[in-house]
Chain A
Amino acid sequence: MARKFWIIAAVTGLSLATAGTALTSEADWGAFQAGEKRSGYTYAKAETRNIQDDDFDNPGFLWVDTGAELWETVEGTAGKSCSSCHDDAADSMAKVGVSYPVFAKELGKPINVEQRINQCRTERMGAEVWKWESGELLAMTVYVKNQSQGAPVSVAVTDELMPFYEAGEQFYNQRRGQLDMACSTCHVDNAGGQLRANVLSQGQANGFPTYRLKWQKVGSLHRRFRGCNKQVRAQPYSYGADEYVNLELYLTHRSNGLPVETPAVRN
């Protein structure tokens, strides 16, 4: 009798384990998976994935459209638009989404797409900077990164970038806040698990700026950083802070091999 129970228990245990692996690691996610790396797409519900799959259904494309208009809009004292220098974004910006953040020699530190756009605006167009998380900056960032949609992220950490990359990695693994949690606590140690009702993803950066259903709009990676920091009850850094750019560098490099999904749709 006792023996029978053991057998049943063993069989049930086995089937549970198989079902578990089929759901998490063995499912074929195609391009949304690169080795052990899995895009946030693979953690999203089918309903959410469906919205992203169709460029029309995806509300993030409202920002892409706005970005395309802004690309042609002349602004500033130099009387230029983005397209005056860069022509067709489909060609000139194709590599930006996969390679940023890059090292900016003039600043001696890494720079991300948002900062590059504003740098262009002030130095070459003679226009005012766009505020972080403003509709314009988000639209332009989404538009530029969208030109790389589908191409694998391939951030190169050069010697110049190494110290910043290491600072980003250190930030990632540093416990912080009242809850004493590091980024890695959720996104490495517990990826695939749950945080209350939310499924924890690996926290890959390949879909940003992403249309978040909760936000009901597109948001930048730095907004996500700030949200995460607040959730562990740490003091968030400001948008575009060096700490966050370093973290973005580490994180984007961590997503190497996954396709750029900008604008991704997440819950």
Chain B
Amino acid sequence: MAKAKPRVKLPKKAAKGEIIEIKTLISHKMESGFRKDSKTGELVPRKIINKFVCSFNGEQVFASDWHPAVSANPYMSFTFRAEESGTFVFQWTDDDGSVYSIEKKLTVS
């Protein structure tokens, strides 16, 4: 599971004003930086996703900072009030600076 793979689940369509649940999951080791290598005894360097941001049509709608106690393959869900159609962009920022990103469309009728 070397490369991080995001998964996002949300309804494709929603009624105006409806509150939808958005579920996200990403595969990541979330190496806390506190673990020691069993063979060498050296600390394993920290490598976690430290920031998760969700934006809708370019505007940030949800964000959270993550810390070393977050488990591997972190799961995050939140709710959103659907007012207009548009595109969600989900971004996870890694300690090494790389950003894992995925887009999902929502149609509001």
Contact = CB atoms under 8 A, between A and B. Distances in A.
Interface of A: 56-57, 59, 61-63, 65-66, 135, 213, 216-217
B72 interface: yes
Nearest to A213: B71
B25 interface: yes
Given A59-B27, A216-B29, A216-B30, 17 more contacts: A56-B7, A56-B23, A56-B25, A57-B75, A59-B25, A59-B73, A61-B7, A62-B1, A62-B5, A62-B7, A62-B25, A62-B73, A65-B5, A65-B7, A66-B1, A66-B5, A216-B72
A61 B26 CA distance: 11
Contact of B9 (A56, A62, A135): A56
B2 A135 contact: yes
B51 to A, nearest CB: 20
Nearest to B71: A216
A59 B1 CA distance: 12
Q: Which 8 A-B pairs have the closest CB atoms?
A: A216-B72, A59-B73, A62-B27, A135-B1, A56-B9, A56-B23, A216-B71, A62-B73
A4 B63 CA distance: 64
A34 B40 CA distance: 47
B10 to A, nearest CB: 10
8 contacts: A59-B73, A59-B75, A62-B1, A62-B25, A66-B1, A135-B1, A213-B71, A217-B72
Contacts of A135: 1-2
A157 B105 CA distance: 51
B23 to A, nearest CB: 6
Nearest to A55: B9
A125 B1 CA distance: 22
A266 to B, nearest CB: 15
Contacts of A213: 71
Nearest to A215: B72
Contacts of B7: 56, 61-62, 65
A171 to B, nearest CB: 27
Contacts of A61: 7
A62 B3 CA distance: 11
B5 A57 contact: no
A217 B2 CA distance: 13
Contacts of B72: 216-217
A157 B75 CA distance: 41
Nearest to A138: B1
Nearest to A69: B5
Contacts of A62: 1, 5, 7, 25, 27, 73
Contacts of B25: 56-57, 59, 62
Contacts of B5: 62, 65-66
Interface string B55-76: 0000000000000000111010
Contacts of B30: 216
B6 to A, nearest CB: 10
A217 B72 CA distance: 8
A144 B73 CA distance: 22
A70 to B, nearest CB: 12
